[in-house]
Amino acid sequence: MSEFRAQVEGERAYLLRYATLQLRDSAAAEDAVQETLLAALAGEAGFAGRSNLRTWLTGILKHKIVDAIRRMSREPTLPEEDFDALFDEKGHWIEMPQAWTDPDASLEQKEFFSVLEDCLGKLPAKTSQAFMLREHMGFETGDICKELAITPTHCWVLLHRARLALRMCLEMNWFGKT
C-alpha cells in the first residue's frame, strides 16, 4: 500500500463522522465516503500538498454530500417536528431559555462538540441538512433551496427550528449540566 493511500485511509473515520452528521443516513454517508476515497485515490496527482490532506478530502466529500442530498431530496421525508409548543399565541417563549454562562469556554472543550453532534443527530433530516448547509458549509439561502427543493420561506423556518432545537438540546445536555 502506498504512503498516500495509507494517509487517505487514515482519514476514513473522520470523513464518515462528518458525512453521517450531514446526511443522517449511515448508508448514504458510507457511500459518500467511499466515493470520496475513490476520487482522492484517482486524483492523487491533483493533490500537491498545498493544503492539509484532511481539508482536501473534506472538500471532495462536501461535493459528494451535496450530490447525496440532491438524491435524498427527491425521496419523501417524514414530517418536521412541531416546535410551536414552545411559544404562546403571541409568539413569545412559554418558558424562557436559560442564559449561557460562558459559551466561548464551552466551545474550546472537545466534549462540547460530541454533545453538539448528538444534538444535530436528533434534528429532523431536512432541518439538519438545511442547518449544516448554511452554518457549516456556508451555502446561501438560494443554494440551500435548490439543493433541498424547498422555498426560501421554508428554508428560513427550517433554520429557525434548527437553532431553537439545538439551543434546547445544548441547554439540557451541556449548559444545564452541574
**pLDDT means over runs of 10, the chain (178 residues):** 86 90 86 92 81 88 88 62 71 77 69 84 90 88 91 93 91 75
pLDDT of residue 151: 93
Domain with CATH 1.10.10.10 in the chain: 84-175
Distance, in Å, from the CA atom of 36 to the CA atom of 161, rounded to the nearest integer, reads 31
pLDDT of residue 81: 56
Q: Which CATH number fits domain 84-175: 1.10.10.10, 3.40.980.10, 1.20.1250.20, 3.30.460.20?
A: 1.10.10.10
Helix (H, G, I), strand (E, B) or coil at 87: strand
pLDDT of residue 25: 83
Contact 73, 146 (CB under 8 A): no
Helix (H, G, I), strand (E, B) or coil at 148: helix
CATH 1.10.357 for domain 3-73: no
pLDDT of residue 150: 93
Domain with CATH 1.10.1740 in the chain: 3-73
Any idea of the CA torsion for 43, 10, 13, 115, to the nearest 10 degrees?
A: -120
pLDDT of residue 178: 45
